[in-house]
Amino acid sequence: MPTNHPVYDKLIAQHLAILKELQYRSGLFAASKKDVATGYNKAWLRDNFYECLAFEIIGDFETVRHTYRAILDIFKKHEWKIDYAISKKPAHTHEYIHPRYHPETFEEYWEEWGNKQNDSIGCILFKIGELEARSPGLLKLDDDDRRVIQKLVWYLSTLEYWHDADSGVWEEDQEIHASSVGACLAGLKMIGGLDGIEVPAELLKKGEETLHRLLPRESERKFVDLALLSLIWPYKVTNAEETKIILDNVEYHLLKERGVIRYKGDRYYNKNPDGWSEEAEWTFGLSWLAIIYDKLGNQEKAAHFLDQAKQTVTKDGVVPELYLSHSTKHNDNTPLGWSESLFIVALHEVTEKNSKVG
């Protein structure tokens, strides 16, 4: 689906080609380059969810189908583990469904990496439900697929996801995260519309209660976090007041020149030796804000954040994971698939509706 804007259509095509280079023959995407030494050559469930959004927005559903068929195969390969976790709530991190896999063999990686990430299950349920609601039969689901999808619902039930502390989107300290609870809630809501899938109303009710009690905070320790944007889009589980407060907090406390910091005191690629006050600036935060403001109908702010996102593209024409604080130095996870994908979505959506952009 071209934007009817030749310059931006060319730019979208360039970044789609970069993103496609991260895909393995299995259908899974690496988080970054396949030869990167940071470990980002692996496949995360969450990153694949976000990386596929670019192909979905341009109408390339064959790529989307290929990826989600691979994800379903992962769950079927590890179905024994899901069964065990359903039988009793996991007592140890390694007993949870892992969020990342070898992109060709679908095996788990066993080293500790904050592997307890409930949102990674929520996001997959959300997208499977959404895709099938929009285009029934798109994923060619069979009885085996439906069986394992139902087990993912029971899995979240056994976890009691609404008050299960996890490592969240950023794979760090375990807390009850609004972004994780919201992802699971959105996933259960959406997958409940799939024929043959049962989602008890109580699972939704408990998630709603916890989410709106936590918001606008991310957790007990974090009052604002970049991950909260996911609750506005793509999950759409915030009300108007929550949406406004989250956006105000993100822009006031986290927005920087070349990206959005994840949260105050983030030590990942923090330029300050003591790990404070110089948090890394994540590029996809700018595209995310552009997309959200486009969805809210504020084309002026959408265009503004898209323009900022364009400034994060490197001289080599790719979008990195992050820039070090107040600098033009980016890290090695360049390109980052998630960043490339949200940049493509922002380019497509904002330029389509605002002819003055650029």
* pLDDT tens-digit readout, 116-125: 999 999 999 9
Distance CA 51, CA 341 (A): 5
* pLDDT tens-digit readout, 133-175: 999 999 999 999 999 999 999 999 999 999 999 999 999 999 9
Mean pLDDT of 47-58: 98
What pLDDT score was predicted for residue 355?
47
Q: Structural domain tally of the chain? A: 2
32 falls within a domain? no
* pLDDT tens-digit readout, 63-78: 999 999 999 999 999 9
Q: Are 279 and 325 in contact (CB under 8 A)?
A: yes
Q: pTM, whole model, 2 decimals?
A: 0.96
- Which tokens belong to 352? 């389509």
Q: Is pLDDT of 98 > 60? A: yes
245 falls within a domain? no
Measured at the alpha carbon of residue 204, what is the angle toward residues 200 and 209, in degrees to the nearest 5? 140
Domain end point (choices 225, 245, 278): 225
Domain end point (choices 225, 240, 266): 225
246 falls within a domain? no
232 falls within a domain? no
Query: Is 59 found in the same domain as 150?
Result: yes
Query: Is 74 found in the same domain as 21?
Result: no
What pLDDT score was predicted for residue 2?
67
What pLDDT score was predicted for residue 357?
40
36 falls within a domain? no
Query: Is 198 found in the same domain as 50?
Result: yes
What pLDDT score was predicted for residue 194?
96
Query: Is 187 found in the same domain as 78?
Result: yes
Structural domain that includes position 52: 42-225
Q: Is pLDDT of 54 > 80? A: yes
243 falls within a domain? no
What pLDDT score was predicted for residue 356?
43
Mean pLDDT of 83-102: 95
- What is each CA distance from 313 to 10, 40, 169, 225, in whole angstroms? 15, 19, 24, 23
Query: Is 58 found in the same domain as 93?
Result: yes
- CB proximity list for 106: less than 8 A, separation 6 or greater: 26, 70, 73, 74, 77, 78
264 falls within a domain? yes
Query: Is 265 found in the same domain as 217?
Result: no
Distance CA 344, CA 309 (A): 10
* pLDDT tens-digit readout, 265-315: 999 999 998 888 999 999 999 999 999 999 999 999 999 999 999 999 999
Query: Is 86 found in the same domain as 17?
Result: no
Query: Is 77 found in the same domain as 216?
Result: yes
Mean per-residue pLDDT over the chain, rounded: 95
